[in-house]
């Protein structure tokens, strides 16, 4: 399981959660990004709404977050298509960063479309 080195959390027009890992891991330094834009989401088709999961890859794939299981030591995320399941170690994060991460998932889930379980 890859260890998250740090997160970048933004809450402006977009709500963004970005995870960064060691170079040479599956997602690397560029990491995995979860993003949502509440302001413009209403203009999208219903099946295009939600928190999108992206990463730097040669393929342009758009996945949507369906479920998050998070505890102080790890996080597991599943996409709506149930084909993608990501698990990461959060033990390197300071407590304050972990608490901010929990808050950002709450903000990201403003419409309760993501099943979030906080252990």
Token pair of 91 as six digits: 């033990």
The model's pLDDT over 77-117, given as tens digits with 9 standing for 90+, comes to: 999 988 889 999 999 999 999 999 999 999 999 999 999 99
Instruction: Give the C-alpha separation, 10 to 104, whole Å.
Output: 8
Nearest Cα to 19, choosing from 51, 54, 57?
54
Does residue 75 surpass a pLDDT of 90? Answer: yes
pTM of the full predicted structure? 0.89
| Cα–Cα dist 64/33, whole Å | 11
DSSP assignment string, 48-114: G-S-EEEES-SS---EEEEEEEE-SSEEEEEETTSS-EEEEE-TTS-HHHHHHHHHHHHHHTTTS-S
Domain ranges of the chain: 2-118
What pairs with residue 19 in β-bridges?
A: 7, 32
pLDDT at 60: 65
Average pLDDT value for the chain: 90
Instruction: Give the Cα separation of 51 and 66 in Å (integer).
Output: 8
């Amino acid at each position: 399981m890859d260890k998250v080195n740090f997160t970048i959390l933004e809450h402006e027009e977009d709500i963004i959660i970005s995870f960064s890992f060691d170079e040479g891991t599956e997602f690397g330094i560029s990491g995995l990004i979860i993003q949502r834009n509440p302001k413009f989401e209403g203009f999208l088709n219903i099946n295009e709404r939600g928190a999108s999961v992206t990463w730097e890859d040669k393929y342009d794939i758009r996945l949507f977050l369906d479920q998050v299981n998070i505890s102080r030591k790890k996080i597991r995320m599943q996409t709506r298509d149930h084909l993608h399941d990501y698990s990461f170690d959060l033990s390197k994060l300071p407590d304050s960063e972990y608490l901010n991460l929990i808050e950002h998932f709450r903000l990201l889930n403003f419409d309760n479309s993501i099943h979030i379980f906080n252990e």
